[in-house]
């Protein structure tokens, strides 16, 4: 990341607005954001495993499924934010030559 680039961080302000990092991308806040993203992705994987286990159990109750759905939605929001952040940092695709070859 160059000094003029902006990174969407994996957290929001208290009122839900996105947080951004300006700058080179090798400092303390970058390392904290990378660590939080790693934890969020691992939690999403664990939650998916838990969901598979729950749905295989015929004794699961409706309140348990609603609770799981809420946690899955939270996790999906986090993973979506990570995808947006990482996608924005990808280099643009190379220009295609519109001529004949």
The pLDDT tens digits of the residues spanning 28-46 come to 999 999 999 999 999 999 9
pLDDT at 77 over 80: yes
pTM listed for this prediction: 0.81
Instruction: Establish how many alpha carbons lie within 13 A of residue 36's alpha carbon, considering only the half-sphere containing its beta carbon.
Output: 16
Q: Tens digits of per-residue pLDDT, 6-22?
A: 899 999 999 999 999 99
Q: Is the pLDDT of residue 52 over 80?
A: yes
First to last CA, the chain: 35
| pLDDT at residue 12, as a whole number | 93
Indicate whether 23 pLDDT > 80: no
What is the rounded CA–CA span in Å between residue 70 and residue 18? 21
- Contact between residue 38 and residue 29 where contact means Cβ atoms under 8 Å apart: no
Q: How far apart are CA 67 and CA 56, in angstroms?
A: 16
């Amino acid at each position: 990341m160059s000094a003029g680039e902006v990174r969407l961080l994996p957290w929001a302000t208290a009122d839900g607005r996105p947080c951004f990092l300006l700058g080179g991308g090798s400092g303390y806040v970058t390392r904290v954001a990378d660590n939080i993203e790693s934890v969020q992705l691992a939690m999403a994987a664990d939650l998916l495993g838990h969901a598979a286990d729950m749905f295989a159990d015929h004794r699961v109750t409706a309140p348990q499924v609603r609770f799981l759905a809420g946690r899955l939605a939270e996790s999906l929001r986090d993973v979506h934010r990570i995808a947006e952040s990482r996608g924005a940092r990808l280099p643009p695709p190379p220009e295609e030559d519109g001529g004949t070859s």
